[in-house]
Amino acid sequence: RTADEWRARTIYQLLTDRFAQAPGQENPQLCSNNQNEPEIRHYCGGTFSGIVSKLDYIKNMGFDAIWISPVVKQMDNETEVGVGWHGYWAQDIYQINPHFGTPDDLKNLVKAAHDKDIWVMVDVVANHMGPQEKKTPRTDDYVKAYNPFNKTDHYHVFCLISNYNDQGNVEYCSIGSADDPLPDLDTENPFVVSEYYNWISWLVKEFNFDAIRIDTARHIRQEFWDDFTKSSGVFSIGEIPDGNSGFVGSYQKHMDSTLGYPLYFKLQNLYSNPNANMYEMRDIINSNRNSFNDTRILGNFVDNHDQERFAHKTQDKVLLRNAITFVLLMDGIPIIYQGVEQDFTGAPTGNDPFNREALWPTSYSQTTPTYQFITNINAFRKVVPQSFFTSLSIEAWIDEHIYAFVKDKALIITSNYGGNNPNRDLVIQGNGVWPTGEVLVNVLKCDEKITIDGSLNVPVKIDGEPKVLYPENNLKGSRICGL
Ligand code: ABC
Ligand code: CA
């Protein structure tokens, strides 16, 4: 699938080990206490067949794509920080992680997803292999564990990353900790390079994936990704966890897209903190537009498995709903990380390893307010025309607390007042998007209707909740708000 085909999709991010256990073989006690750190640093029993059994949980929330954690076989040794249940610690890139099932189980997952019109994005790592505690990297004895990179010269000379402002240091040294460094592949070595290009081409074709999420993209020279992404033959989203639009944007010349980290770092602060200044939203949107080839396909998110959960930063659900609304409707491909819909907080820290909660203790409830909230917005995404996804948003109102934008015929209003209802009356300029008398319905609160006034403007009441206003006429037949 190409970038263009992905534009209108909406992605649910899941960790295979934590999403669902195999039907009939459940062990619901396992990892049900998420504060048990030794336990949650090991496998919790999720499998590919488990995902298949819960595809409707994802589908019913309105998602038409999933991002699954890395699928390749992991190192099985213990480290100070557990084992490679998350999938980022490869041992053999040509084998499928047996903890998750067989290669056929993985093919069945992709097939079952496609049958429900759910596309599958697979997470892939080319920067490193898994750690082996208390062993010296880059010795014959150490590298013999890996396949196919089992020679010392397949790896960079060992050093640990010490300075993220030094790109050479970031590319040539290892991520991880001093005790458990992830051996950094020599991605200048012709064998390593061609092996990776062949592998990604094989992996995508063999399992019929629709896109790749590229781990540690900033840890390999940019030119490496040109042929890597071409060899994959599908849409690619790279991970560059940095707040600088110029830096992250430069990667979009070498891959289709990146995760929307620059926007993320702003929005998580702007929406979780009522004292933050919403004018910063304008700045980041402008600098993104100046720095990326195409901001409309960036992967936007409020949470992921590496960052502090939004619901840990603030308990205010009104703020969470504003952040979710923004991410699901602003330019970009939205990504919702598993557990957001269940109001997971990642306690006690909100961060790795506690932000990777197993989902089964929730019994996959589809009635939580956040699950239904996401469902409503995803349903709205299905009724807007394709131009919604190809156009750029237009700022409609901005002040310290409010950010509102127009996309297609939708007016989306967000704020960071949270539960403190400011009771404000605004008149937002319509700029000719809607005719006088047009009735807009808030699709998030169906009894709220607003009529365009004689000056073509939109009179709205700001109460802290996000609003998604859309012409009643354009909703006819959509079943949204009973229309
Ligand atoms: C393990 C333990 C942790 C322990 C750690 C040292 O080792 O679990 O408790 O703290 C996988 C596992 C992790 C595991 C690691 C290391 O491997 O999931 O549990 O941590 O063994 C990707 C994946 C991630 C994965 C890997 C490794 C890479 O999404 O899940 O981790 O394959 C860097 C990398 C990035 C990586 C991330 C975890 O680390 O660049 O690819 N994610 C700055 C840098 C970032 C950097 C980050 C690290 O620090 O810019 O590039 O990410 O903390 C903002 C700034 C940013 C700044 C952030 C922190 O603050 O603008 O620049 O990020 O304000
Ligand atoms: Ca590297």
Long-range pairs for 436-442: beta carbons < 8 A, 24 or more residues apart: 438/471, 438/473, 439/471, 439/472, 439/473, 440/411, 440/469, 440/470, 440/471, 440/472, 441/469, 441/470, 441/471, 441/472, 441/475, 441/481, 441/483, 442/467, 442/468, 442/469
Model confidence at 133, in pLDDT bands (50, 70, 90)? confident
Quote the strand ranges of 259-313, DSSP E: 299-301
Residues catalogued as catalytic: 215, 239
Q: Which of 261, 263, 260, 202 is nearest to 228 (CA)?
A: 202
pLDDT of 356 reads 98
Verify whether ligand 1 is closer than 6 Å to residue 167 (CB atom): no
What are the tokens at 376? 């409503």
User: Which residue is closest in CA terms to ligand 1's atom 25?
Assistant: 88
Mean pLDDT of 408-437: 97
Verify whether ligand 1 is closer than 6 Å to residue 233 (CB atom): no
- Could you read off the pLDDT of 184-218 as tens digits, one per residue? 999 999 999 999 999 999 999 999 999 999 999 99
pLDDT of 414 reads 98
pLDDT of 366 reads 98
Q: Best of 171, 306, 351, 357 to mutate for ligand 1, by most ligand atoms within 8 A of CB?
A: 306
Verify whether ligand 1 is closer than 6 Å to residue 402 (CB atom): no
What is the distance in A from the centroid of ligand 2 to the CA of 265? Answer: 24
What is the distance in A from the centroid of ligand 2 to the CA of 379? Answer: 41
Verify whether ligand 1 is closer than 6 Å to residue 171 (CB atom): no
Verify whether ligand 1 is closer than 6 Å to residue 81 (CB atom): yes
Verify whether ligand 1 is closer than 6 Å to residue 308 (CB atom): no
What is the distance in A from the centroid of ligand 2 to the CA of 128? Answer: 7
What is the distance in A from the centroid of ligand 1 to the CA of 181? Answer: 12
Write out the H or E segment, with its range, that includes residue 263.
Answer: helix 261-272
Write out the H or E segment, with its range, that includes residue 91.
Answer: strand 90-96
Do residues 350 and 309 touch, judged by C-beta distance below 8 A?
yes
Q: Measured between alpha carbons, how far is 66 from 411 in angstroms, rounded to an integer? A: 28
- Could you read off the pLDDT of 225-252 as tens digits, one per residue? 999 999 999 999 999 999 999 999 999 9
What is the distance in A from the centroid of ligand 2 to the CA of 173? Answer: 6
Supply the mean pLDDT for the chain: 97
Mean pLDDT of 120-138: 93
Lowest model confidence (mean pLDDT) among 134-138, 354-358, 362-366, 470-474: 134-138
Q: Best of 14, 18, 42, 81 to mutate for ligand 1, by most ligand atoms within 8 A of CB?
A: 81
Report the atom number in ligand 1 closest to the C-alpha of 244. Answer: 61
User: Which residue is closest in CA terms to ligand 1's atom 26?
Assistant: 88
Do residues 337 and 13 touch, judged by C-beta distance below 8 A?
yes
Residue 344 has pLDDT above 90, yes or no: yes
- Could you read off the pLDDT of 44-77 as tens digits, one per residue? 999 999 999 999 999 999 999 999 999 999 999 9
Mean pLDDT of 426-455: 97
Q: Measured between alpha carbons, how far is 454 from 82 in angstroms, rounded to an integer? A: 64
What is the distance in A from the centroid of ligand 1 to the CA of 323? Answer: 23
Q: Report percent pLDDT > 90 for the chain.
A: 99
The residues placing their C-beta within 5 Å of ligand 2, an ion, are: 127, 171, 184, 219
pLDDT of 136 reads 83
Residue 134 has pLDDT above 80, yes or no: no
pLDDT of 428 reads 98
Residue 38 has pLDDT above 90, yes or no: yes
Q: Best of 91, 122, 185, 216 to mutate for ligand 1, by most ligand atoms within 8 A of CB?
A: 216
Report the atom number in ligand 1 closest to the C-alpha of 242. Answer: 62
